[in-house]
Amino acid sequence: MLTVDILTVLPELLESPMSHSIMKRAQDKGLLQVRIHQLRKWAVNKYGMVDDYQYGGGAGMVMMCEPLANAIDELQSDGAFDEIIYMTPDGRRFDQRMANGLSLKGKILIICGHYKGIDDRIRQRYVTKEISIGDYVLSGGELAAAVVVDAIGRLIPGVLNDETSALTDSFQDNLLAPPVYTRPAEFRDMKVPDILLQGDPKKVEEWRYEQALQRTRERRPDLLQDEE
C-alpha cells in the first residue's frame, strides 16, 4: 500500500486525473491512497495567504515557509514520509527507473509549486527529492505531479493484471515497446505481419524483441547507450 499526499493551491487540477482508469482501480483495490490537500488550509491569515513578494525584488510571488512547514509537520504527525518530493523544472528528470523506485515506497508527499516557486529553506530542510518531468515550464506542479503519481501507481504490485502488465511497457527494460495490431488481419492494403497470425509463441516473442530493438535503435539510440 502506497499513500501519496499532495499539497497544492489547485486541488481541482488533480482530482480528475486521480479518479479514473488505473488510478481509480489502484485506489479501489486498496493498493494506493491519494490524498489531495489544499495548502490554503495552512494559510498565514484569514484571506488564505500562502505566498509573498520575493526578497531582493523582482517579479513573481514566492510560496511562504510557514504554510508549507506547518502542513508537512501536520501530515507526518501519524508517521514520517519516506520521500518529500518537490515538483520543479530544475529537479532531476523523471524516468521509468525513478517511477519503479518510488512505487516501492510506503508514504510520500508531493509539493506542487506555483508562481516563482517555494522559499528555498523548505527545499533545504524538508524536501528529499526534486523532480522535473521535462525541460519545459508548466504553470504549476500539479500536472507534473499527476504524471508522476500515474506512472508510479500503475507499477504497484497488483494494480495491473496480466493484460495490462507493466512488464511489456516501453522503457521497462530500456527498450521501446514493439508495434501492436488487432483485427482485422487486413485493413485497406495493409496486412498484419504473418508471424503474429501463425500462433507460435516463441517466434512471436523473438519477433517482438527484434522489433523493440529496431525501434529503439531508430528512435532512441541513447537508451541502448545507457545499458553499457
d(CA 91, CA 35) in angstroms, rounded, equals: 23
Q: What is the CA radius of gyration of the chain?
A: 22
Contacting ligand ADE (CB under 6 A), which of 56, 80, 136, 227? 136
Q: Interface with ligand ADE includes 132 (CB under 6 A)?
A: yes
Of 138 and 196, which CB lies nearer to ligand ADE in the complex structure?
138
> Minimum distance from CB of 127 to ligand ADE (Å)?
13
Burial of 112 (0-12, 13-18, 19+ CB in 10 A): buried
Strand (E) or helix (H) holding 147: helix 142-153
d(CA 120, CA 124) in angstroms, rounded, equals: 6
- C-alpha grid cell for residue 206? 523473438
Of 133 and 175, which CB lies nearer to ligand ADE in the complex structure?
133
Strand (E) or helix (H) holding 107: strand 107-112
Of 138 and 192, which CB lies nearer to ligand ADE in the complex structure?
138
Contacting ligand ADE (CB under 6 A), which of 79, 106, 134, 184? 134
> Minimum distance from CB of 11 to ligand ADE (Å)?
16
Q: Which amino acid is at 40?
A: R
Binding string to ligand ADE for residues 70 to 99, with x set by CB under 6 A, is what? -----------------xxx----------
Residue numbers at the binding site for ligand ADE (CB under 6 A): 87-89, 113, 132-134, 136-138, 141, 144
